[in-house]
Chain A
Amino acid sequence: MSIGSDRRTITYAQAWREILAVRDRLVAAKVAEDGVALLFMPQGWDALAYYFGAIAHGCTASFMPSPSPKQDADLYWASHVKLMARITPAALITTAAHEEQMRRNGLLVENCVMVQAAPITAEDATGAGDQEVAAALMSRRDRLPILQHSSGTTGLKKGVMLSNDAILTQVESYAKAIAATPDDIMVSWLPLYHDMGLVACSLTPMILGQTIVLLDPFEWVARPGTLLEAISRHRGTLCWLPNFAFDHLARSVDISRLDAGLNTMRAFINCSEPCHALTFRRFAQTFAPIGLPETALQVCYAMAETTFAVTQTSTERPPMTVTVDRVSLHEKGLVIPAPTSPDSIELLSAGTPIEGTTVAILSDDGQPVPDGVVGEVSIRSSCLFSGYYRLPEETAQRLNGADYRSRDRGFIWNGELFVLGRMDDLVIVAGRNFHAAEIESVLNGVSGLKPGRNVVFGNINAERGTSDLVVVAETVNTEDAAPASDGYRGLRQSVRHAIFQTLGIYPAEVKLVETGWLIKTTSGKIERGRNAQKFLHEKSQPAAGRV
């Protein structure tokens, strides 16, 4: 059993010694034992060693994303100040490169210790500390060792509190659902700050004692074929990916130039954004010639609030699909099976609940609806979170005793769950969640746009297999809303720059419009849904003056 990448491979015994060495460092640095440790570290085993070392020390640990190389680091860190004031971490664990930037931008709050995550050497990793105390502390079921943060950088970022009890229950139940064994070999490029990267691809395989192969996310995006080569080289059996990644692989990888076989794979599990049947077909067609087994493409419905998995399809057979009438589904919320045609839509099952979890579909007034009727997915689970860290109101809105209101829309059909998308303003782009309101607040700071007169929404892009982020904003000067003008081009670039620098994502489309374009409610609130419809309607119309 081992953990690592092609660069460094270590055994579990060595991993444990390094975790204890990190714990000793945190003791020496006088990090408060019961505080929150936030880790801003690059992907790899060292990050996991510091993460588990913090937990072994008694901390609640949380991986946080670092700015990408092209983001303005000062702007990025400054946007975290509000978050630090709420969390009041006991330790910021980071690299030398980030440390000075974080200090300069006021992230080091009172009683917080900055810990430089220096590489762990063989001398450090003697495991001389009290191993029994650390092991007992790490596994106490009532502890809250993990804070899993949602996307975003401002005060809207929420920390999902997870107990050991929830984590261990999840691992046990989910392992049964996918028939996981210690012999499985898990290969992942997913970032550790993402719940799928952390829970499915690190915590679960570590608790089960599986072999873990971790790749760098940036390297994977640039060279997607490296994932398949790693699977082939390490004889991988399990891999979790968001839907867009299946499309990215199918579109980008030329199998004639790839030295890889996928015949060892038990499951590629599609998770963390709506899953599309078309995506699976493209992936299967592309990779069947290099040994992709017919039963390997599977679906999981998961979220940080339930530790990870809620439902999972069977790894014994391809997932169920149902083709339904599009209008009935979208306008009436009814599932009416229909033959394949431009008026129908093929939907992919997310499977059945894992052990200890049940799912109900609720109407707008919170009442259960029959099978085949669309409503909100409500979850009752033995692995639910313990609340959002220091956000009692947000916790009360979503967590009702043993029930969690997901804000996802879906339905039950033939005993399986189908998930359609979000009810609220969450936009899921390439597996990452963004609150539209947070992006809109960034737009309010762009000079040349009318503050508060903008709207952001997601638009499904079937080719890319994810949602496109769309921005529509009213300009201060009417001439800047003319697409051919220099003002338009400059302002659009400013919008893309501002969003990327703050959130690390580029919008797919930016439309600048004159004052009065956006539809408002009678109370003056901008209606996201109606404005999205208006945008799509205008986009579908031929340009004036053209046939």
Chain B
Amino acid sequence: MTMADDKFQTLCAVIAEELGADKALFGPETTAEDIDGWDSISHASVIMAVERAFSIRFDDEEIYGFANVGAMYDRVRALTAA
């Protein structure tokens, strides 16, 4: 497993934990539509949990713009590489 895979697995674990969902349900293509309980309010908690876990801060404008978990991961990777 590569470091990138590790980071992706951590991201999925953080999101799953915040939503009380099974981590196995998450992959790069997963969207809010796939997961019960993932709505605009819980999404804010997800964002904050991800920011805490990776010590990053997303731009306010991008928070609701991620197409899927993979897109969020790309952004996490960019912010943690900085």
Q: Report the separation of the CA atoms of residues A224 and B63 in the bound assembly, to the nearest whole angstrom.
A: 13
Which residue of A has the minimal Cβ distance to B47? Answer: A222
B40 beta carbon closer than 8 Å to chain A: yes
Q: Report the separation of the CA atoms of residues A218 and B63 in the bound assembly, to the nearest whole angstrom.
A: 10
**Is B37 touching A509 in the complex (CB atoms < 8 A)?**
yes
Q: Which of A187-195, A319-327, A500-508 contacts B (4 or more CB under 8 A)?
A: A500-508
Question: What string of 1s and 0s marks CB contacts (under 8 Å) between A183-226 and chain B?
Answer: 00000000000000000000000000000000000110111100
Q: Report the separation of the CA atoms of residues A302 and B34 in the bound assembly, to the nearest whole angstrom.
A: 36
Residues on B with beta carbons closer than 8 Å to the beta carbon of A506: 32-33, 38-39
In the assembled complex, the CB of A111 is this many whole angstroms from the nearest CB of chain B, namely 37
Question: What string of 1s and 0s marks CB contacts (under 8 Å) between A441-479 and chain B?
Answer: 000000000000000000000001000100000000000
**Is B60 touching A251 in the complex (CB atoms < 8 A)?**
no
Which of B34, B37, B63 touches A508 (beta carbons < 8 Å)? Answer: B37
**Is A248 touching B44 in the complex (CB atoms < 8 A)?**
yes
Q: Tell whether A218 pairs with B64 under 8 Å between CB atoms, given A251-B45, A506-B33.
A: yes
In the assembled complex, the CB of A69 is this many whole angstroms from the nearest CB of chain B, namely 6
Residues on A with beta carbons closer than 8 Å to the beta carbon of B41: 221, 244, 248, 430, 464
B13 beta carbon closer than 8 Å to chain A: no
Interface residue count on the A side (C-beta < 8 Å): 29
Which residue of A has the minimal Cβ distance to B65? Answer: A69
Q: Report the separation of the CA atoms of residues A218 and B62 in the bound assembly, to the nearest whole angstrom.
A: 12
Q: Report the separation of the CA atoms of residues A489 and B29 in the bound assembly, to the nearest whole angstrom.
A: 14
Which of A224, A430, A468, A500 touches B33 (beta carbons < 8 Å)? Answer: A500
B48 beta carbon closer than 8 Å to chain A: yes
A496 beta carbon closer than 8 Å to chain B: yes
**Is A69 touching B64 in the complex (CB atoms < 8 A)?**
yes
A70 beta carbon closer than 8 Å to chain B: yes
Which residue of B has the minimal Cβ distance to A507? Answer: B36
Residues from 31 to 77 in B contacting A, C-beta threshold 8 Å: 32-34, 36-45, 47-48, 60, 63-65
Residues on A with beta carbons closer than 8 Å to the beta carbon of B39: 505-506, 508
Q: Report the separation of the CA atoms of residues A70 and B47 in the bound assembly, to the nearest whole angstrom.
A: 17
In the assembled complex, the CB of A393 is this many whole angstroms from the nearest CB of chain B, namely 34
**Is B45 touching A223 in the complex (CB atoms < 8 A)?**
no
In the assembled complex, the CB of A245 is this many whole angstroms from the nearest CB of chain B, namely 9
Q: Report the separation of the CA atoms of residues A450 and B36 in the bound assembly, to the nearest whole angstrom.
A: 21
Q: Report the separation of the CA atoms of residues A60 and B9 in the bound assembly, to the nearest whole angstrom.
A: 54
Residues on A with beta carbons closer than 8 Å to the beta carbon of B47: 222
A252 beta carbon closer than 8 Å to chain B: yes
Question: What string of 1s and 0s marks CB contacts (under 8 Å) between A80-93 and chain B?
Answer: 00000000000000
Q: Tell whether A252 pairs with B45 under 8 Å between CB atoms, given A496-B33, A508-B36, A510-B36.
A: yes
Residues on B with beta carbons closer than 8 Å to the beta carbon of A507: 36
Which of B33, B40, B45, B63 touches A497 (beta carbons < 8 Å)? Answer: B33
Q: Report the separation of the CA atoms of residues A400 and B34 in the bound assembly, to the nearest whole angstrom.
A: 46
**Is B48 touching A70 in the complex (CB atoms < 8 A)?**
no
Which residue of B has the minimal Cβ distance to A226? Answer: B60
Which of A219, A464, A489, A496 touches B60 (beta carbons < 8 Å)? Answer: A219
Pick from B34, B40, B65 the residue with the most CB of A within 10 Å. B40
Which residue of A has the minimal Cβ distance to B58? Answer: A222
A341 beta carbon closer than 8 Å to chain B: no
A493 beta carbon closer than 8 Å to chain B: yes
Q: Report the separation of the CA atoms of residues A510 and B44 in the bound assembly, to the nearest whole angstrom.
A: 21
**Is A224 touching B44 in the complex (CB atoms < 8 A)?**
yes
In the assembled complex, the CB of B70 is this many whole angstroms from the nearest CB of chain A, namely 17
In the assembled complex, the CB of B50 is this many whole angstroms from the nearest CB of chain A, namely 12
Which residue of B has the minimal Cβ distance to A511? Answer: B36
Residues from 10 to 36 in B contacting A, C-beta threshold 8 Å: 32-34, 36
In the assembled complex, the CB of A316 is this many whole angstroms from the nearest CB of chain B, namely 32
In the assembled complex, the CB of B21 is this many whole angstroms from the nearest CB of chain A, namely 12
Question: What string of 1s and 0s marks CB contacts (under 8 Å) between A275-290 and chain B?
Answer: 0000000000000000
In the assembled complex, the CB of B74 is this many whole angstroms from the nearest CB of chain A, namely 18
Which residue of A has the minimal Cβ distance to B63? Answer: A222
In the assembled complex, the CB of A127 is this many whole angstroms from the nearest CB of chain B, namely 35
Q: Report the separation of the CA atoms of residues A505 and B32 in the bound assembly, to the nearest whole angstrom.
A: 11
Q: Report the separation of the CA atoms of residues A417 and B48 in the bound assembly, to the nearest whole angstrom.
A: 38
**Is B64 touching A222 in the complex (CB atoms < 8 A)?**
yes
Which residue of A has the minimal Cβ distance to B25? Answer: A489
Residues on B with beta carbons closer than 8 Å to the beta carbon of A70: 64
Which residue of B has the minimal Cβ distance to A489? Answer: B34
Which residue of B has the minimal Cβ distance to A500? Answer: B33
Residues from 494 to 533 in A contacting B, C-beta threshold 8 Å: 496-497, 500, 505-510
In the assembled complex, the CB of B62 is this many whole angstroms from the nearest CB of chain A, namely 10
Q: Report the separation of the CA atoms of residues A69 and B43 in the bound assembly, to the nearest whole angstrom.
A: 15
Residues on B with beta carbons closer than 8 Å to the beta carbon of A254: 48
**Is A221 touching B37 in the complex (CB atoms < 8 A)?**
no
Q: Report the separation of the CA atoms of residues A507 and B43 in the bound assembly, to the nearest whole angstrom.
A: 14
Residues on B with beta carbons closer than 8 Å to the beta carbon of A68: 40
In the assembled complex, the CB of A66 is this many whole angstroms from the nearest CB of chain B, namely 14
**Is B48 touching A252 in the complex (CB atoms < 8 A)?**
yes
Pick from B33, B42, B47 the residue with the most CB of A within 10 Å. B33
Residues on B with beta carbons closer than 8 Å to the beta carbon of A223: 44, 60, 63
Which residue of A has the minimal Cβ distance to B62? Answer: A222
**Is A222 touching B37 in the complex (CB atoms < 8 A)?**
no
Residues on B with beta carbons closer than 8 Å to the beta carbon of A500: 33
Chain A positions within 8 Å of B, measured between CB atoms, are 68-70, 218-219, 221-224, 244, 248, 251-252, 254, 430, 464, 468, 489, 492-493, 496-497, 500, 505-510
Instruction: Jot down 13 A-B pairs with beta carbons below 8 A, ordered by A.
Output: A222-B44, A222-B47, A224-B44, A252-B44, A464-B42, A493-B33, A493-B34, A496-B33, A500-B33, A506-B38, A508-B36, A508-B39, A509-B37
Q: What are the 10 tightest A-B residue pairs by CB atom distance, in nearest-first order?
A: A506-B39, A222-B63, A496-B33, A508-B37, A493-B33, A509-B36, A222-B44, A497-B33, A221-B44, A221-B40
